[in-house]
Amino acid sequence: MLLCLQNVCAAETVEQLRQLAGESDYADGRKTAGWAAREVKRNEQVEAGPRIDTIRNLVRKALMAHPLFVSFAQPKSITRMLVSRYTQGMEYGLHVDDALMGGRRADLSFTLFLSEPDSYQGGELVMESVDGETEIKLAPGEVVVYPTAALHRVAPVTSGERIAVVGWVRSLVRRPDQREILFDLDRACRALFERDGKTAELDLLLKSKANLLRQWAED
Ligand SMILES: O=C(O)CCC(=O)C(=O)O
Ligand SMILES: [Fe+2]
């Protein structure tokens, strides 16, 4: 299951992120890819330094303050974040992300789009599944969160420039099916609260959700 999130960053934050990314120095993205992904990775990434530290802090803060992200991902930590740039002719062919990053399990991957979608051609994030391909290209400040277990690629950019922040989340809940149950219950509880207020039935559902999280969370 993948989730697209709107309004993760306020317009001023998007502007600040774009400015920081624009002023940064970039290096060949192959440095951070595993041995197989390196074969198909053609992009550039921001080098270590104060700018990327600021970018990471801004994005971490925005994501952790987004109720839908927290409910969907049950994040324990954001294990890695990179800023990547694709200019004309660049792409990231089909690959799977590393299961462990810095010794921490990666459960979910995300992309925060920073470039206006019509300012570049191509550059869709393409998810592969048994049902076929899903193409994702979002507006600046929007985020897609998807299972790190999935094969995916970034389609070739044929003109313009695509800048994005990509990152990985270690979840408190390892199993995607369990995360999905918690996410569904959370959304149902919130909708019931909106409709009927804090009823006895809502309390029972909230109790079950909390007890399932207690069973499944690895803190
Ligand atoms: O830029 C994206 O949307 C995803 C990039 C990616 O797959 C990666 O960096 O591993
Ligand atoms: Fe990837």
pLDDT digits (tens, 9 = 90+) for 151-198: 999 999 999 999 999 999 999 999 999 999 999 999 999 999 999 999
Q: What is the pLDDT of residue 33?
A: 86
Decide the pairing of beta strands 44-46 and 75-86. Answer: antiparallel
CA distances from 176 to 75, 128, 197 (A): 13, 17, 30
| Cα 166 to ligand 1 centroid, rounded to whole Å | 6
For residue 108, what are the β-bridge partners? 147, 169
* pLDDT average, residue stretch 130-159: 96
pLDDT digits (tens, 9 = 90+) for 26-72: 999 998 888 888 999 999 999 999 999 999 999 999 999 999 999 99
Q: What is the pLDDT of residue 31?
A: 87
The C-alpha atoms of residue 95 and residue 127 are separated, in whole angstroms, by 10
Q: What is the pLDDT of residue 194?
A: 98
CA distances from 182 to 71, 104, 199, 214, 215 (A): 8, 22, 20, 11, 12
Q: What is the pLDDT of residue 57?
A: 98
Residue 101's Cβ-count burial label (10 Å; 0-12, 13-18, 19+) is middle
Q: 97 a known binding residue?
A: yes
Instruction: Give which of 83, 76, 68, 73 is closest to 32, Cα–Cα.
Output: 83
* pLDDT average, residue stretch 65-94: 97
Cβ atoms of 147 and 92 within 8 Å: the answer is no
Check if 172 has its Cβ closer than 6 Å to any atom of ligand 1. Answer: no
Q: Give ipTM to 2 decimals.
A: 0.99
pLDDT digits (tens, 9 = 90+) for 103-131: 999 999 999 999 999 999 999 999 998 88
145: CB partners within 8 A, 6+ apart? 2, 3, 5, 69, 72, 73, 108, 109, 110, 169
**Atom number, ligand 1, closest to the C-alpha of residue 37:** 10
Top-confidence residue, 141 or 36: 141
Indicate if the pLDDT at residue 210 is higher than 90.
Answer: yes
For residue 62 the two structure tokens come to 């925005």
Q: Per DSSP, which regions of 114-207 are E strands?
A: 121-122, 125-129, 132-136, 143-147, 152-154, 157-159, 162-171
Residue identifier of the C-alpha nearest atom 10 of ligand 1: 97
Q: Per DSSP, which regions of 73-118 are E strands?
A: 75-86, 91-95, 100-101, 104-105, 108-113
Q: What is the pLDDT of residue 76?
A: 97
**Atom number, ligand 1, closest to the C-alpha of residue 97:** 10
Cβ atoms of 19 and 167 within 8 Å: the answer is no
